[in-house]
Amino acid sequence: MYTMRPAEFTYHRPLSLDEAVGLLDEDTRPLAGGHSLIPLLKFRLSRPRALVDLGGIEGLGGISENGGGLTIGALATHTAVVDSELVQSKCPVLAETVTQVGDVQVRNRGTIGGSVAHADPSADYPTVLKALGATVTATGSNGERQIAADDLFVGIFTTSLGPRELITSVSVPSTESGTGAAYVKHRHPASFYAVVGVAAVVTVESGACTRARVTVGGVTSPPVHATAACEALVGGPGSAEAIAAAAAKVPEAIPNATSDSYASGEYRTHLAEVLAGRALALAFERAGSG
């Protein structure tokens, strides 16, 4: 029967990371903002024996500078990321991305750690974090390890995290001068999740593109790098013609685009090309002439 009431579970609210890790096993789930987990519990798509609420652990929500890049605590809410002056100055594309997540309520409760761990194929963070070459720090009973975003997202709602591991922070590397980045999304009108979201990061030196990354989310799981599009850009100018030619190569990266009741794979593929063109144009504009 459809009840909208979760199955019974035990609720833990540890006050330290060690305590939280000690409570985790295959049948427990960490709880952060609850904006993805609570609906799963209510629909009984997830029936854990216990929840481990991370909200009582101090020091997991800070945002700090790290060798020119940024380290963002797992419990930093989407709003905290958008409002952070450090994020706005060091990695404005992250703020640009997160402004487009859900609505105010979702942004006030949802966390970067929860979004990354949930690995929703339509989420925004995974796409931009892959484009930026971000790294996630995870802590488990065997200590701490770093996981590149490219290795973390492995499939639909699936990461390479172990059941006894918690994400404690997300780090974004510093960007070279002459780098511009943008995230452009076509959002579902009801949920606001990305039907397609494209992140572009380019570096320009003396008028020529020296590095390009275009990452497409919402179309496959996990998000993918459009490698041929990037290769087409390197060595040339970020002209309108070069951008259009590169964007035209984006469909090569997404041969098995997702089809669902909202958008066919064909439509998503078309959107990916169009949005890649827009994201690249913005990224080159922001990079300047190098």
Give the position of tokens 């995290």: 161
**Beta strand pairing call for 28-31 and 50-53:** parallel
- 115 binds ligand FAD per the rule CB under 6 A: yes
> Which residue, 187 or 249, is less far from ligand FAD as judged by CB?
187
142-181: contacts with ligand FAD (CB under 6 A): 166-167
Segment contacting ligand FAD by CB under 6 A, of 5-13, 15-23, 122-130, 144-152: 122-130
Here's the x/- map for ligand FAD, 227-266, by CB under 6 A: it reads as ----------------------------------------
Segment contacting ligand FAD by CB under 6 A, of 169-177, 190-198, 204-212, 234-242: 190-198
- 69 binds ligand FAD per the rule CB under 6 A: no
2: Cα within 13 Å, side-chain hemisphere: 1
> Which residue, 102 or 238, is less far from ligand FAD as judged by CB?
102
Q: What SS3 state is found at 227?
A: helix
Contact by Cβ (8 Å): 28, 49: yes
Contact by Cβ (8 Å): 169, 136: yes
Q: Provide the residue count of the chain.
A: 290
What whole-number distance in Å separates Cα of residue 136 and Cα of residue 189? Answer: 30
> Which residue, 51 or 282, is less far from ligand FAD as judged by CB?
51
Give the position of tokens 């709602």: 157
Q: How many other CB atoms are found less than 10 A from the CB of residue 221?
A: 19
Segment contacting ligand FAD by CB under 6 A, of 65-73, 121-129, 218-226, 241-249: 121-129
- 114 binds ligand FAD per the rule CB under 6 A: yes
For ligand FAD, the binding residue among 21, 36, 170, 279 (CB under 6 A) is 36
- 74 binds ligand FAD per the rule CB under 6 A: yes
For ligand FAD, the binding residue among 192, 211, 228, 248 (CB under 6 A) is 192
For ligand FAD, the binding residue among 21, 31, 204, 279 (CB under 6 A) is 31
> Which residue, 61 or 290, is less far from ligand FAD as judged by CB?
61
What whole-number distance in Å separates Cα of residue 172 and Cα of residue 191? Answer: 27
What whole-number distance in Å separates Cα of residue 126 and Cα of residue 246? Answer: 22
For ligand FAD, the binding residue among 6, 14, 30, 180 (CB under 6 A) is 30
- 191 binds ligand FAD per the rule CB under 6 A: yes
Burial label, 143 (beta-carbon count in 10 A; 0-12, 13-18, 19+): exposed
- 22 binds ligand FAD per the rule CB under 6 A: no
Q: What SS3 state is found at 94?
A: helix
Q: What is the CA radius of gyration of the chain?
A: 19
Interhelix angle 240-247/265-287, nearest 10 degrees? 150
263 DSSP assignment: -
- 29 binds ligand FAD per the rule CB under 6 A: yes
List contacts with ligand FAD (CB under 6 A). 29-37, 54, 74, 101-102, 106, 109-111, 113-115, 117-118, 120, 123-125, 166-167, 191-193
